[in-house]
């Protein structure tokens, strides 16, 4: 794939290679993000994977989402990892013995969540083959589960009391070691590295990954939540943050849920209203006019976090967003360099903590590129969207479907054969 020109016949080869990645990562009921680094099912990965899989097999894309929805807890939460029963405990840390969680015997999961992009994915997967979906009762079965998932986020997770869902662990953002979390995490007493064994470093370069200090804090927070029975009312939540991407995806998904509701004969109006409410709360609580970006809010006393992460650009994907023009300007400005760097960096190129290789502290990610691409199309920036698409296809081809790429050089980092990278390619080519 070296030297692929994504606007030529190479696309046929690229599509075939992307399909091979997804077939290779399929376990029989879902897709692992990576055979080496992440050998289980991840929540938001599955949603992005399904968006790509629908172009290969709408039925398989439906099953991908159904296996995640099948691990839903009684309180409505969708766990961020569903552990593969056949994969040994030592393959990933923290594994099922650490989390000690699950919706019922036989299904082991983590106890935290990830960004709610699922209803959006369910609707798009439905649209790929409505007849097959109808035959399998896909929407009718998914709707009550998605509604319960959103209800959990709107109620038990509204820790700030202003209509936004809070995340209680950096892993819940999906942007694990973003500099946005440095401030709130500084208050968390880290577990010493001698008390746990990281498995990620068996498969990835230490310079591409979070540090041991980060991990010590991740472990402390997760163990604390676990020891309070994952009960949001009684857990003290030393880390509690309102994250723009998480809530923008909730708004986008509420809009999709309104369509799903209408298709199954339920009332779409409450979902539309909730989408409006989340957007209003985003604007009220997280919009920062001076930087033209949404910021994160630290609910444990820090106020708005003055770090400029790509999470603040993701609301561009929400239709009708009143500040879309400002966000577009910020995307094209010095901080994110849209059109001048590879894809969209995960953190401010001019920020003091910018690191082009270290995970969510600068590298460009394909799922985020996909959301920004959606936003550019949504808000009439078709040429910029086309350029971003070319940049993503080129980066995926050159890096052998890397997990993330250096925004300055396009060089791949992390795992190769990464599922949502391949899925995004399929989705962009289709």
Distances, alpha carbon 416 to alpha carbons 271, 381, 396, 402, in Å: 38, 31, 10, 4
Coil, helix or strand at residue 339: coil
Q: Which of 21, 26, 31, 42 contacts ligand 2M8 by CB under 6 A? A: 42
Integer Cα distance of 355 and 152 in angstroms: 35
152 binds ligand 2M8 (CB under 6 A): no
Residues between 189 and 208 that touch ligand 2M8 (CB under 6 A):
200
Q: Least distance (Å) from ligand 2M8 to the CB of residue 44?
A: 6
- Catalytic residue chosen out of the listed positions 64, 403, 406, 427: 403
Q: Least distance (Å) from ligand 2M8 to the CB of residue 32?
A: 9
Integer Cα distance of 382 and 387 in angstroms: 9
Integer Cα distance of 76 and 237 in angstroms: 19
Q: Which of 26, 44, 149, 347 contacts ligand 2M8 by CB under 6 A? A: 44
Closer residue to ligand 2M8 (CB): 129 or 172: 172
Q: Which of 6, 14, 38, 402 contacts ligand 2M8 by CB under 6 A? A: 38
Closer residue to ligand 2M8 (CB): 38 or 294: 38
Closer residue to ligand 2M8 (CB): 40 or 398: 40
CB 143 within 8 A of CB 260: yes
Per-residue b/e over 33-58, b at no fewer than 16 CB within 10 Å? bbbbbbbbbbbbbbbbbbbbbbbbbb
Integer Cα distance of 49 and 232 in angstroms: 29
Which among 3-11, 20-28, 42-50, 139-147 is the span making contact with ligand 2M8, rule CB under 6 A? 42-50
Residues between 50 and 89 that touch ligand 2M8 (CB under 6 A):
80
Closer residue to ligand 2M8 (CB): 219 or 258: 219
Residues between 235 and 264 that touch ligand 2M8 (CB under 6 A):
none
Q: Across-strand partners of 364?
A: 345, 405
Residues 6+ apart with CB under 8 A from 189: 217, 220
Integer Cα distance of 180 and 327 in angstroms: 18
Q: What is the 3-state secondary structure (H, E, C) of 219-281?
A: HHHHHHHHHCCCCCCCCCCCCCEECHHHHHHHHHHHHHHHHHHHHCCCCCHHHHHHHHHHHHH
- Catalytic residue chosen out of the listed positions 176, 242, 348, 355: 176
176 belongs to the catalytic site: yes
Which among 101-109, 168-176, 183-191, 251-259 is the span making contact with ligand 2M8, rule CB under 6 A? 168-176
CB 363 within 8 A of CB 372: no
Q: Least distance (Å) from ligand 2M8 to the CB of residue 171?
A: 4
403 belongs to the catalytic site: yes
Integer Cα distance of 13 and 401 in angstroms: 13
Q: Which of 64, 84, 129, 176 contacts ligand 2M8 by CB under 6 A? A: 176
Q: Which of 14, 15, 25, 33 contacts ligand 2M8 by CB under 6 A? A: 33
What positions carry a catalytic annotation? 176, 403
Write out the residues near ligand 2M8 by the rule CB under 6 A: 33, 38, 42, 44-45, 80, 171, 174, 176, 200
């Amino acid at each position: 794939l070296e030297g692929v020109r994504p606007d030529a016949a190479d696309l046929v080869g690229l599509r075939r290679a992307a399909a091979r990645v997804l077939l290779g990562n399929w376990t029989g009921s879902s897709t692992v993000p990576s055979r080496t680094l992440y050998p289980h099912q991840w929540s938001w990965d599955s949603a992005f994977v399904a968006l790509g899989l629908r172009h290969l097999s709408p039925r398989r894309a439906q099953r991908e989402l159904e296996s995640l929805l099948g691990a839903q807890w009684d309180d409505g939460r969708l766990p961020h990892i569903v552990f593969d029963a056949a994969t040994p405990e030592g393959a990933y840390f923290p594994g099922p013995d650490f989390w000690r969680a699950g919706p019922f015997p036989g299904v082991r999961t983590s106890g935290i969540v990830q960004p709610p992009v699922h209803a959006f994915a369910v609707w798009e997967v439905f649209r790929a083959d409505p007849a097959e979906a109808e035959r399998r009762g896909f929407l009718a079965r998914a709707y009550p589960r998605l509604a319960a998932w959103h209800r959990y986020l709107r109620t038990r997770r509204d820790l700030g009391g202003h209509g936004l869902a809070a995340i209680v662990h950096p892993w819940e953002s999906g942007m694990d070691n973003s500099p946005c979390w440095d401030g709130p995490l500084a208050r968390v007493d880290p577990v010493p590295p001698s008390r746990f064994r990281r498995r990620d470093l068996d498969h990835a370069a230490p310079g591409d990954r979070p540090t041991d200090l980060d991990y010590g804090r991740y472990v402390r927070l997760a163990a604390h939540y676990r020891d309070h029975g994952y009960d949001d009312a009684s857990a003290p939540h030393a880390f509690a943050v309102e994250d723009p991407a998480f809530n923008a995806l909730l708004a986008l998904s509420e809009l999709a849920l309104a369509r799903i509701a209408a298709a199954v004969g339920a009332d779409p109006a409450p979902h539309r209203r909730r989408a409006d409410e989340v957007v209003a709360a985003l604007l009220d609580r997280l919009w920062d006019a001076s930087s033209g970006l949404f910021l994160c809010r630290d609910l444990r006393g820090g106020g708005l976090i003055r770090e400029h992460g790509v999470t603040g650009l993701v609301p561009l994907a929400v239709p009708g967003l009143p500040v879309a023009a400002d966000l577009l300007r910020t995307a094209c400005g010095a901080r994110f360099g849209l059109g001048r760097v590879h894809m969209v960096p995960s953190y401010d190129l001019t920020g003091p903590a910018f690191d082009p290789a270290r995970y969510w502290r600068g590298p460009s990610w394909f799922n985020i590129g996909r959301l920004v691409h959606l936003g550019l199309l949504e808000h009439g920036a078709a040429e910029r969207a086309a350029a971003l698409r070319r940049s993503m296809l080129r980066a995926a081809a050159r890096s052998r479907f890397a997990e993330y790429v250096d925004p300055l050089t396009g060089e791949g980092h992390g795992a190769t054969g990464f599922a949502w990278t391949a899925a995004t390619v399929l989705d962009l080519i289709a």
